[in-house]
Chains A and B, each alone.
Chain A
Amino acid sequence: MIEEIITSGRMNPEIDPVLHVWGWEIPFYLFLGGLAAGILIFSAYFTLRGRQDELPIAVKWMPLSVPFLIGIGLISLLLDLSHILYAWQLFTNIRWESPMSWGAWTLLIITPLSIAWIAIWMEDIFPKWDWKFDEVKTVVKWLKEQRRILAQILILLSIILGMYTGILLSAFNARPFWNTSILGPLFLTSGLSASAALIAYFSKTELEKRLFTRIDIILIGIELFMIVHLFMGHLAGTQVHIQAAQMFLGGAYTVPFWTFVVGLGLLLPVSLELLELKHKFIPAIVPVVLIIAGNLALRFIVVSAGQASRWLY
């Protein structure tokens, strides 16, 4: 028997010099997580502001999608795990220092809460809805009374969920490109922007459409600002970080990133949304498709580039 002593992860050819571990599943899951978080934040926030009847799509309708988004996200996450049958062990302990643990627990709590949140609005969106059992009616009535508390908890958890989709990567010390605290807020903002675009697309009233178009424009502005800072931060860092940033500033990721993420995924939709606010006719589907494609592209490229960025020694 040949004995192999593994002293470092770097002995694994799948890890060093470049990571080959993550395919499409992880970025797709990160996207869905961000989207679910964004939808819940808007819904809960505008409930707290008492605008649920003015903004029905954002507050009452969109949360319907959240359990599905989380479900599909978890399926793609499980597809990525090599030991699916042991996945439950994530829940056997809480590790404060591990973002995986944070994410797993947040999802575990947020999923039932989002279902409770949907239950609150069921009678509003389906007037003929009947909960049938008195016990259920009592619970839903109680939930409605707790609406404000529930909204606050949801906002908090959704921010954690949205941030975690980025922090998950930045906690990965061995990959210089992910080593930046801005990934968390960047992914959160981009998730919010995708959900704002979706709300604007589905909204029926001019008021809701314009409000969310305006919100989306601001969010995209923030995203662009953060992207600039992401690179400034890397360029001001150590040699490995500078090299990681160079992949986007003249290296292999330059063209996909600046063309597809920044150009087609942020600048073009934001220009179209600005034109829309000026009452120019834009087919409504175009900005939202561009934003969602840009959102996916951002996560795919960040995940892929992070795996390719490496330490020099």
Chain B
Amino acid sequence: MGPLVPQEIIGADWNLFIAFVIGIGFGFVLEQAGFSSSRKLAGLFYGYDTVVLKVFFTGAITAMLGLLFFSLFGWIDLSLIYVNPTFIWSAITGGVIMGAGFIIGGFCPGTSVCAAAIGKIDAMVFIGGILLGIFFFAEGFSFMKDFYMAGAYGPLKVSDFFGISGGVMALLVIIAALVMFKLGELAEKKWPREEY
């Protein structure tokens, strides 16, 4: 059955409208969870507020299990789902730069747009920064192209990499997440803070 648009069960022209509706849900949940506040986001790295950890991992696990069960019931064809390809060196370096940007700027792109929508000026400045950062990358792309393409593994899945089934992998992620949730709760008790 699914995914509906790639299989042309829903016409391709609806795709962008679906994106709009899904975006509304995305933005609404992010804002309700408190991701529109840079102080809440940064709280994870100082232990006073671990909401990022909880929401992020619960979200990833819910969708992961959803995909696995949908596939089990024959509702979705996993081979048609886009899996982002792995280019190991650029992924690590890019991630490190993004991590620095996260702790310095207090947002990531999605949360900054969400925060800008409710009037946070720091988020708008952050978005301005993203625009510049992307522009710098695009202009300097020819110097980085080789590095950008190095270490290509294609759309590699973790489960295939370790040679285990998707279900076992999901179970491991859930166990890891539960441990982290527990640590998060402990951290919040150790470094309490007032609501802002």
Contacts and interface: CB of A to CB of B under 8 A. Distances in A.
Interface stretch (B14-22, B50-58, B125-133, B179-187): B14-22
Contacts of B16: 255, 259
B146 interface: no
B20 A254 contact: no
A251 interface: yes
A153 B21 CA distance: 45
Contact of A251 (B13, B17, B20): B13
A263 B13 contact: no
A263 B21 CA distance: 9
A250 B20 contact: no
Interface of A: 250-252, 254-255, 258-259, 263
B173 to A, nearest CB: 35
Interface residues of B, number: 7
B192 interface: no
B140 interface: no
Given A250-B13, A251-B13, A254-B14, 17 more contacts: A250-B11, A250-B14, A252-B13, A254-B11, A254-B13, A254-B17, A255-B13, A255-B14, A255-B16, A255-B17, A258-B17, A259-B16, A259-B17, A259-B20, A263-B17, A263-B20, A263-B21
Contacts of B14: 250, 254-255
Contacts of A254: 11, 13-14, 17
A259 B11 CA distance: 16
B interface secondary structure, majority = helix
A255 to B, nearest CB: 4
Interface string B68-97: 000000000000000000000000000000
Interface in B6-64: 11, 13-14, 16-17, 20-21
Interface of B: 11, 13-14, 16-17, 20-21
Contacts of A251: 13
A259 to B, nearest CB: 5
Contacts of B17: 254-255, 258-259, 263
Nearest to A257: B17
10 contacts: A250-B13, A252-B13, A254-B11, A254-B17, A255-B14, A255-B16, A259-B16, A259-B17, A263-B17, A263-B21
Contacts of B11: 250, 254
User: Can you list the 3 inter-chain pairs with the closest CB atoms, starting with the nearest?
Assistant: A250-B11, A255-B16, A254-B13
A127 B122 CA distance: 46
A90 B14 CA distance: 43
B5 to A, nearest CB: 11
A251 B20 CA distance: 17
A235 to B, nearest CB: 15
Contacts of A258: 17
Contacts of B13: 250-252, 254-255
A258 B14 CA distance: 9
A263 B18 CA distance: 11
Nearest to B21: A263
A279 to B, nearest CB: 18
B169 to A, nearest CB: 37
Contacts of A252: 13
A21 to B, nearest CB: 26
A95 to B, nearest CB: 41
Contacts of A255: 13-14, 16-17
A251 B14 CA distance: 8
Nearest to A247: B13
A263 B13 CA distance: 16
Contacts of A259: 16-17, 20
